[in-house]
Chains A and B, each alone.
Chain A
Amino acid sequence: MNKTQSTTDPSIETAAEIGQLSYRQLIWQRFQKNRMGVISGAVLILFYALAIGADFFAPYHYNEINMRLRHVPPQRLHFSFKDGFYVYGLKSVRNPESLELEFTRDMTQRHPVEFFFKDTDGKRHFFSSAGPMFLLGTDRMGRDLLSRIMYGARVSMTLGLVGVFLSIILGSVLGTISGYWGGWVDNLIQRVIEILSAFPDIPLWMALGAALPPGWSSIQIYFGITVILSIIRWGGLARQVRGKVLAYRESDFVMAARAAGAGHWHIITKHLMPGCYSHIIVIATLAIPGMILGETALSFLGLGIRPPMTSWGVLLEEAQRVTVLLHYPWLIFPAVPVLVVVIAFNFLGDALRDAADPYSD
């Protein structure tokens, strides 16, 4: 089961032969040729920018509750030369039987959208409005969905990065050790990975989720969940890295280094790791979507991020109701950014893989 497709045997020498371009430059050049890859990269940079700058870009604070503006459907943005961008006001009627609020547009009222809007706390927002302006609607507590998605991106997207970073470190260290030394070390590590992969996900998640100590703040829980996700995922990465190292171990330059009397540490850090890292980046890029989706699954099981913090997983979990799907369908919109980001990471990963592999084309 442990066979990896040892496809090719790329090495730095090949790159050097091509000319003055370094390996890195070469990858970059090849990457630029891949249109989807570049677009995906740009999309991801945009999303990360929005996530990091959510305080500024989001029109409202993500936990701002509006008692009488619950389940407002998305409002359409209009444009006129007189008012600039604006939305119409809202009229609400209470359903006499279910007491549910039902909203209609109030054409007599126009709430202009202001850029660099200053809110009551004196904080600037990229755009916002004095009147209610919910471009993606509001949730059951009257919170602006757009703002929640932006703040949620902060958690979900960094969680993927940090989680993959942790599993990469764990996976590549153990994978390298395993691949390089072989023997009983390899055997032991492979056994552990085997147990981990033969272990059903859900109990593992639940047990680790329950092990998070009480009284942890949202931030600590966030890191706890990241660690949980990476503990579960490192096995697969370690296997892939091991495969690469195995391939390299027999390569000429490692043999040469060994013959020259280089120490293990020297060979690993100076020869194996650099040879692997472009592959590791590819593997990592392709692993991030798994983390992001993993977070949504954890939230679905009620083990993920908890309010008042929010994440895409939390938002999707909150949409898991028949009532929502039939009456407030806009609340499943957070699935769209999840899709976009996951697809972008996949395209980016594909593009990087193609670029890192000199034998393709």
Chain B
Amino acid sequence: MPTLLAISIISFIIIQLPQGDYLDREIQRLEEEFGDSSSLAQVEELRERYGLNEPLWKRYLIWISGFVRGNFGESFEYKREVNELIWDRIAFTLLISIGSLIFTYVVAIPLGIYSATHQYQWSDHFLTFLSFVGMSIPAFLLALSLMVFAFDIFGVPLFGLFSAYYEGAPWTWGKLNDLIKHLWIPVIVVGINGTASLMRIMRGNLLDVLGQPFVQTARAKGLKETVVVAKHAVRIAINPLISILGMSLPGILSGSAIVSIVLGLPTVGPILLNSLLNEDIYLAGTLIMMLSLLLVIGNLLADIALAWVDPRIRYE
């Protein structure tokens, strides 16, 4: 709780660090986009209407007291309650993040095991190299490249989360199918950096474990190598990965933000960036709080999972 309180104060201050307020930004946007801001008449009246003349602490108190009651204030840019805007996007953010997490673990663990059991063979070197490449590609570049080449070479338009036909349509099996078809690019792109490093860690852990005496004992007992690895070594080697689960969340969330901006996905990332740029303070503040909340909850879940999987921790 104190962490969240501190975050709420800090975020509210830093959102408003840049000069000017939402209306100044709006004028600028109109002029940049259309070379004209005359459609925004009567700026001073609007400023008073939005309470932008109030001191910072007063705005904070209004916002935070509403926040705890579930009233997040109004977004200036969208002219809607923040409440109406964010839940869908948080859901899609979670969908992509969880999808990426699953992708990360499902891909990284087998590859890590394979790499460790084939240590110093060419396939291990190849996977090592591949994982380093995966760790080094900037996500935004990969996202756009995948999208463009998927379109150019295969003719599949894969931007957004739905194809034009299903956008705004009610939920049906077809739409779900469509969503899954669109989901793979963001999931892979967001997951790829994590996958690469996770694979490295899995490989290292397994190698450590394989060198330990009890594994040698098992081998000495005449158990098959596959059994030794699968039944004894992997079990131990996986534990640290669960503790990493919590740590990989920030990366996944900010990764999904950047990828969503590139691909134009309806997640938290793009509106967060936009609301920060536009100093849409209540929307930005609420989104930061929500993301922080997700991170804190994610860490908590990872802790629980770790304790569940590795009973030693309970007695620590």
Tell me the A residues contacting B by CB distance below 8 Å.
1, 3, 5, 7, 191, 194-195, 197-204, 206-208, 210-211, 289, 293, 296-297, 300-301, 316, 319-320, 322, 325-326, 332, 335, 338-339, 342-343, 346-347
Contacts and interface: CB of A to CB of B under 8 A. Distances in A.
Given A198-B296, A293-B136, A319-B141, A203 B258 contact: no
Contacts of B276: 202-203, 206-207
Contacts of B110: none
Given A204-B14, A210-B17, A300-B258, A325 B148 contact: yes
B186 to A, nearest CB: 16
B141 A316 contact: yes
B202 interface: no
Could you say which of A198, A293, A297 has the most chain B C-beta atoms within 10 Å of its C-beta? A198
B243 to A, nearest CB: 7
Contacts of B313: 3
Interface of B: 2-3, 6-7, 10-11, 14-15, 17-18, 129, 132-133, 135-141, 144-145, 148-149, 152, 208, 240, 243, 246-247, 250, 253-254, 257-258, 262, 269, 272-273, 276-277, 284, 288, 291-292, 295-296, 299, 302-303, 313
Contact of B246 (A1, A300, A325, A347): A1
Contacts of A197: 250, 295
Given A198-B7, A322-B148, A203 B141 contact: no
Contacts of A296: 138, 140-141
A335 B17 contact: no
Contact of B10 (A199, A293, A339): A199
B interface majority secondary structure: helix
* Interface majority SS (helix, strand, loop, mixed), chain A: helix
Nearest to B4: A198
12 contacts: A1-B302, A198-B292, A198-B295, A199-B292, A200-B253, A200-B257, A200-B291, A202-B254, A207-B18, A300-B138, A325-B148, A343-B132
Contacts of A316: 138, 140-141
A325 B262 CA distance: 14
